[in-house]
């Protein structure tokens, strides 16, 4: 694991990392957070209902997990429920994918819809403020949610950030150039004739995914992820693949707004991630209170490829943030 820090004060960071041990006696006398009911359920939202699950019994500020896609599900984020002994973890499937209702109405396929949907879940659960962790497309949702509801966000964890889609597409096409000659020819042909169901193209996709998306998948969760994906949403907002972006997100670029984020931010990225560690470092350099952790040996789905280290990094970051907040109140 390589760590690249962009914080303004290394001394402050070190202090926060240990404050739970050194300053436990200074904890303010405040009422403990009320625990959310553990279990899963469905919440009615415009267009259908979304599935959610609350796990863990930790007393820290809860964290909500925003999966990638768009149109996929949270199966691959299950490893992050391991931090439930520190804080409660809210995992949910965005409308259209996973265990939530399927939708085909393209008027719902907007960033604004998914931001409203996320806050409706917060209101329903009765959470005053939570940590927000987004992965891939979920980082777009996390940043846009913060813009609308900054007072509801304790920290942002932006995993394999997709905050500059033109840069993402350029990098992805460079990654395609590293594939076998046969895969490159299949992709070139599919793009030329706009036909993406050719078995040779699908084989090329598999080669790309095994190098840059998931290197060590959990097969049962991968099967569930693919079986419940909503390709209509993915194609409309993204495009036919990770490296052919023709959807509504094609021009999305949040880099100019990163300087306005006023909460601690953790960026994580895999060593072989299609998100590209160098691009993620650039995001962190633009974010006032940010650090970057590069997870060695991992592709895009770091919760599979670097499970234990990913969980530890997130656990430590959120614990330090909670301790800092407690000291500030005191």
289 is catalytic: no
Catalytic choice (136, 183, 298, 323) = 136
Tell me the C-alpha distance between 248 and 306, whole Å.
31
Measured distance CA(270)–CA(206) in Å, rounded: 18
Cα–Cα distance measured from residue 127 to residue 122, given in angstroms and rounded to the nearest whole number:
5
Distance from C-alpha of 19 to C-alpha of 5, rounded to nearest angstrom = 19
Residue with tokens 């997990």: 65
Catalytic residue check, 278: no
| Pairing assessment for the beta strands 48-55 and 87-92 based on DSSP bridges | antiparallel
Cα(330)–Cα(326) distance, integer angstroms:
6
Catalytic residue among 300, 305, 322, 323: 300
User: Based on the number of CB atoms within 10 Å of its own CB, is 127 exposed (0-12), middle (13-18) or buried (19 or more)?
Assistant: buried
300 is catalytic: yes
Identify the DSSP state of 253. Answer: B
Active-site residue, from 273, 289, 305, 322:
273
> What is d(CA 310, CA 183) in angstroms, rounded to the nearest whole number?
31
Evaluate whether 71 touches 62 at the Cβ level (below 8 Å): no
* Residues marked as catalytic: 136, 273, 300
């Amino acid at each position: 694991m390589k760590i690249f820090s962009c914080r303004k004060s290394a001394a402050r960071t070190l202090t926060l990392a240990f404050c739970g041990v050194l300053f436990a006696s200074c904890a303010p006398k405040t009422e403990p957070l009320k625990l959310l009911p553990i279990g899963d359920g469905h919440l009615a939202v415009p267009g259908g209902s979304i599935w959610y699950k609350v796990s863990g019994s930790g007393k820290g500020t809860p964290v909500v997990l925003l999966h990638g896609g768009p149109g996929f599900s949270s199966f691959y984020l299950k490893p992050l429920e391991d931090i439930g002994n520190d804080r409660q973890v809210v995992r949910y499937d965005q409308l259209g994918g996973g265990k939530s209702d399927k939708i085909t109405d393209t008027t719902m396929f907007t960033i604004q819809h998914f931001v409203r949907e996320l806050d409706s879940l917060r209101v329903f659960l009765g959470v005053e403020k939570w940590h927000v962790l987004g992965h891939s497309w979920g980082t777009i949702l996390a940043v846009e949610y913060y813009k609308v509801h900054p007072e509801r966000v304790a920290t942002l964890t932006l995993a394999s950030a997709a905050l500059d889609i033109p840069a993402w597409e350029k990098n992805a096409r460079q990654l395609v150039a590293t594939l076998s000659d046969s895969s490159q020819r299949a992709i070139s042909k599919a793009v030329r004739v706009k036909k993406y169901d050719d078995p040779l193209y699908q084989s090329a996709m598999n080669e790309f995914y095994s190098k840059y998306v998931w290197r060590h998948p959990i097969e049962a969760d991968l099967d569930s992820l693919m079986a419940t994906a909503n390709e209509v949403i993915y194609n409309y907002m993204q495009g036919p693949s990770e490296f052919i972006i023709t959807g509504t997100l094609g021009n999305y670029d949040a880099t100019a707004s990163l300087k306005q984020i006023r909460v601690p931010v953790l960026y994580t990225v895999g060593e072989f991630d299609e998100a590209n560690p160098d691009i993620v470092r650039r995001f962190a350099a633009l974010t006032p209170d940010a650090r970057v952790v590069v997870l060695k040996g991992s592709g895009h789905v770091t919760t599979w490829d670097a499970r234990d280290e990913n969980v530890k990094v997130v656990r430590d970051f959120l614990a330090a943030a909670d301790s800092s907040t407690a000291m500030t109140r005191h």
